[in-house]
Amino acid sequence: MLRHAVPTGDTAQIIDRALTVLIDDLARKKFAATDQPRASRGAAPGSRYVAAKVRRAVWIRDGGRCAFVGKGGRRCNERSFAEFHHLEPYGVGGEATVEAMELRCRAHNNYEAELFYGRRQPTRPGTSAPLPSMEATVDS
C-alpha cells in the first residue's frame, strides 16, 4: 500500500513510517499531543479530570520521563508506564494544575502513594475482604 511513497519497497522505511504514526497516535491519546490545540474548557475545581493543556505541559516539562528524584539527588530515567502524579494527593484536595502535577513511573507513583496513605492491605481476589495475616494463623 505504500509503494507510491516508497517505490523501492524498502521494509525498513515502511516499518519506520508505521512506528512514527503509531507513536504520534499514542502521544495524542495519552498526553493530548497536537500541533493545533483547541481552547480548553478547563476543569471544575475539585475535579479529578486533568485538562489536555495540563497533560501537554507536564509531559513537555518533564521530558516524557519520571520526575522522581531520590534521596541522593538522582532522577529516575524511566519512560515506560508514565502516570500523572498529584504532588498533593487528590484525596486531600490536590488540584490538577501544571504546577501541582508531575510525571511518575508506575513504581514511583505507587511508592509515593504508600508514603502518604500507608501500605494497602492485600485482599482476596474478587472481594474486599482482607487476607488473614500470618500472625492470626499461628497458635501462641
Summarised one tens digit per residue, pLDDT across range 6-56 is 888 888 988 898 898 888 888 777 767 677 766 666 666 667 788 888 888
Identify the H or E element spanning 17.
Answer: helix 11-31
- Report the SS3 class of residue 69: strand
Q: How does pLDDT run across 83-135, given as a tens digit for each residue?
A: 999 998 888 888 888 999 999 999 999 999 898 888 876 666 766 666 555 45
pLDDT at 136 over 80: no
